[in-house]
């Protein structure tokens, strides 16, 4: 059965540029799992999940699987970082930071897998995803830091956007929202730490490029992004090899 989903939150050029312009090199996306068959100019998409692909699902389950996918991406990336030559020769302070980032993201990933598996049948849990980081030079400090910044900034925007989509009409949903708040605060700490490594002693740890104003205030609030926007940005990296669909995720 085909579903029609309006593109209320199309990926903008600036959204794509966050992922495509890293350390002066463009990363070309090689696989599509969400906007298949649709251009940025399309107003309405006709979508269906191929029988051999997984769909994240709807409601709170879809949001949890969505977060699980993002945590799998981050955990896989930092696994490659600590296996790379930049990490091997990095100053001890930077080694400690990246080992902490690796540990945190692996814990987040495993937490979501355990939590979702305890709530639903295993067939409804996003499978282990396969990633391709062959475009990343893990011997380059600039490359590792640049992509780390983009991943962490995106994680903050993703959790901020997903939090308001969680159904809190029961105790389980209230717990999910609480845990999302606990995780997004850690993602924000990661982002600030990476930004400070890139430009020590600057204001970039919470730069105006990632903050917005509300009601006419100066920039002082983190951004939020809808799942469609974030998934389009992930597509643009070309990192994801496993295809899946996200037709039933709510938007705000």
Task: Quote the pLDDT of residue 252.
Answer: 58
130 within a domain of the structure (yes/no): no
Q: 128-143, pLDDT tens digit by residue? A: 999 999 999 999 999 9
146 within a domain of the structure (yes/no): yes
51 within a domain of the structure (yes/no): yes
Domain count, the chain: 1
What is each CA distance from 48 to 10, 45, 63, 69, 122, in whole angstroms? 19, 10, 19, 20, 22
pTM above 0.85, yes or no: no
> Higher pLDDT residue, 68 or 221?
68
pLDDT at 51 over 90: no
Domain around 183 = 3-125+135-245
For tokens 């598996």, name the residue.
Answer: 117
129/151 Cα distance (integer angstroms) = 17
pLDDT at 23 over 50: no
40 within a domain of the structure (yes/no): yes
Percent of the chain with pLDDT over 70: 79
105 within a domain of the structure (yes/no): yes
Q: 153-198, pLDDT tens digit by residue? A: 999 999 999 999 999 999 999 999 999 999 999 999 999 999 999 9
Q: Give the CA angle between residues 213, 158, 197 to the nearest 5°.
A: 75
What H or E segment, with its residue span, contains residue 55? strand 54-55
Please state the rounded mean pLDDT for residues 7-15. Answer: 37
252 within a domain of the structure (yes/no): no
Q: Confidence band (pLDDT; 50, 70, 90) for 120?
A: very high
44 within a domain of the structure (yes/no): yes
251 within a domain of the structure (yes/no): no
Please state the rounded mean pLDDT for residues 201-217. Answer: 91
Which residues, 6 or more positions from 184, have their beta carbon under 8 angstroms from its beta carbon? 155, 156, 159, 160, 163
Q: Confidence band (pLDDT; 50, 70, 90) for 7?
A: very low
pLDDT at 240 over 80: yes
Percent of the chain with pLDDT over 90: 71
């Amino acid at each position: 059965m085909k579903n029609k989903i309006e593109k209320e939150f199309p990926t903008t050029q600036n959204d794509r540029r966050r992922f495509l312009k890293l350390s002066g090199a463009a990363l070309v996306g090689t696989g599509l799992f969400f906007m298949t068959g649709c251009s940025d100019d399309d107003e309405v998409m006709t979508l269906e999940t191929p029988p051999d692909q997984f769909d994240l699902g709807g409601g709170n389950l879809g949001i949890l699987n969505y977060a699980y996918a993002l945590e799998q991406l981050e955990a896989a990336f930092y696994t490659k970082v600590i296996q790379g030559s930049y990490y091997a020769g990095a100053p001890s302070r930077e080694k400690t930071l990246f080992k902490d980032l690796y540990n945190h993201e692996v814990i987040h990933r495993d937490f979501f897998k355990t939590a979702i598996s305890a709530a639903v049948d295993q067939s409804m849990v996003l499978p282990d995803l396969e990633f391709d980081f062959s475009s990343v030079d893990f011997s380059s400090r600039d490359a590792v830091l640049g992509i780390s910044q983009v991943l962490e900034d995106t994680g903050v925007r993703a959790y901020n956007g997903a939090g308001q989509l969680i159904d809190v009409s029961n105790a389980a949903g209230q717990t999910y929202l609480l845990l999302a708040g606990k995780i997004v605060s850690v993602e924000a700490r990661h982002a600030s730490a990476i930004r400070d490594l890139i430009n020590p002693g600057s204001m970039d740890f919470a730069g105006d490029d990632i903050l917005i104003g509300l009601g006419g205030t100066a920039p002082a609030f983190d951004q939020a992004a809808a799942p469609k926007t974030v998934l389009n940005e992930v597509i643009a990296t070309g990192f994801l090899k496993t295809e899946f669909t996200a037709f039933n995720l709510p938007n705000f």
